[in-house]
Structure 1
Amino acid sequence: MQVDVVVVGGGAMGSAAAWQLSKAGKSVVLLEQFEAGHHIGASHGATRNFNTAYAEADYLDLLAESKTLWDELAAEHGAPLLDLVGLVNHGNVPRLELVRAAHQERGIESYFLPAAEAADRWQGMNFSTDVLFVPGSGRVRSADALVALRKSAEAHGATFKYSTPVRDIQVTGGESVVVVTDETEYTAARVVVTAGAWTPKLIGKLADLPALVVTQEQPAHFTPVDNTLVWPSFNHNPDPDPNNELYEYWFSPVYGMLTPGEGVKAGWHGVGPVMDPDERTFEPIPQQLEALVRYAEEWLPGVDPSSVVPISCTYTTTPNEDFVLDRFGPMVVGAGFSGHGFKFTPAIGRILKDIVDGGTAPARFAADR
């Protein structure tokens, strides 16, 4: 079967690429090895942080574009995809001062609050440092976003095929590629590979990628003790002083948000066990779960720590936690989103479309950077 572009991997990034490519008038087939809405990769779950607390110019550019595109997609979908409940950032104040300065340069609203004032405003949380609050941040309705991306892509002519593993990708020349499934072969000018944790297995030596480390991450939901509490999304970084005993048991920074109907989500960032995505246990590491419950006891007075419900997802992380958005002959790769990519989903779809058309991504995301 001949098409313009085959997209391999039907999570957030592949769905966004299919949306952008089909809007641009290309014939697109998306192939996903699992069923729609599966919980085996990195794109499932009801919410993700829409976190604009970055200091780097290229990430702030992507955030601005992503906000515009999320709103565009929501208009097509007929329902909101962002809940701008704000984002609280605390801990590591020197880093937050850099973020605040970058926001001031761009006219992004953010401001510092003393710890006591923040604790009075957000009574479900404790603070030991000044807090940087970003009102224009919040949550992405991630499960709804996947549905919206698919529906919009299909409305523009894309075909989504689930439960369709790709068995081989054959680069037959500079302007041609063959993608093999159990039922047929697709010949295309370009293939976009957005296969998450399966990327190294799928493309092997076809692309010179940086090391992609796959880990099983184990955040959890906690039940709020009072449904009248106001919950912004949050990022909590440990004090850079290694002698601060408040953080001695921490595994990493902590992120979290309210997931309506499920509880307050909190998790360590990128410190789960390294694992083959086809051999996951889906079980939390006891020491990490115990430490997360202790975090809830000490820093989240608005939740019941004993109500902990572990959840599981994968991270695919590059050495510097920057993404890979690059082209190798007729193959375009989006990979290594390192636990902070979802908020950028629609802009990443646009970048992948541009690379298919012969463009390039920002230099930060080159595979050899």
Structure 2
Amino acid sequence: MTSSAVEAPTDITAQEAELYDRQIRLWGLDAQKRLRASRILMVGATPLTGEIAKNLVLAGIRSLTLMDDSPLSADDIDSSFIYDPSLATAATTRAEAALSALHSLNPMVEVSAKSGQPEQLTADVLANEDYDAVLAISQPVEVLQSLGRLCRSVTYDGEVNSNGAGNNSNSDSSAKQRRQVQFFAADCFGCHGYVFLDLQRHEFATELAEVPPKAGQDSSVDPKTAAVPAAGSQPVETHLIKRSADYADFESVLRTRWDPAKLGSLRRLSPALYLAFLLFEFQRANNGARAGPNDVDALKTLWRAFAESQQLPANLLDEAVLSSGLQPPSCPVLAIVGGVAAQEVIKAVSHKDDPFNNFFVFDGIQSCGSVQTLG
């Protein structure tokens, strides 16, 4: 389970310290320790899963479990590096076929496959297997809703000892810490993609810079906005401060209603955001099925109904964007969305810096990404 940002995590080995030296210099030893103690469950072993998992494994999490019982196909092997080509003729699942490539990236990370369907996951399973985060990749909207509820249902006040271990530790030094399972969702569709975060009540540490104050000025400034000191001036000193943020659950995000009175703001939003919500609506109307190139007319009809229900102008989503979202995900989009998702998971489980809050969309046509706080 995820521990609070103030928790002192377990030590890492000398071998790990050498391997993760650059990362430790980037985000600090404590953050790397928390990352090294994290256990991640990924539901869905898709090409996007491969991009996310690659970054998490290389960053040095403790364990990664893949859950996907779909049979491995030749199309799967052609779509991503994650699948072992030698298993093309074997009766194996996509999750099992991905283990070899991931293990070779970083043998110090435990990788495993978990059988079963997402509907079989329970609060006891998440708690007993001590997952810090659940990532639902390219899953139907109903699965996203149920997994989001499930992750919130296992939040509890558990025993966390002072060295960061869980309930199985024999340490006498323990304290009550708020523990929870973080929930992430991500998908790519054609030239577009999204990443969603539900971190509940999230605590994190961020750097605050101190510069020599001028008369009447505060010496503490956010390093993201601080001006670069002039040559020869006193160096900026930084220290960590603790902060927290509240996140909406996935079902609240689905109930988002845009204000038609703010038409200018609505037009500035990425069309990929409206497309993501339209594809959610399509899945709801089609028992979780993904929309494909033959569903353009059905999506047009659905968009008109959705826009009317939200009192949105129909031209916020044009046919070019809609059609582009019905193609197979492109490799560059998979890499970008996967990189963003992994980056936010790393920030969340390490409690270093603030993950975005809460819905990122990438528009491959415009080559830009944006974050909206929904719900």
With the shorter chain as reference, the TM-score category is: 0.3 to 0.5
TM-score of the pair, normalised by structure 1: 0.33
Greater radius of gyration (CA): 2
TM-score of the pair, normalised by structure 2: 0.32
Higher strand share: 1
Which protein, 1 or 2, shows the higher relative CO under an 8 Å CA cutoff with sep ≥ 6? 1
Higher helix share: 2
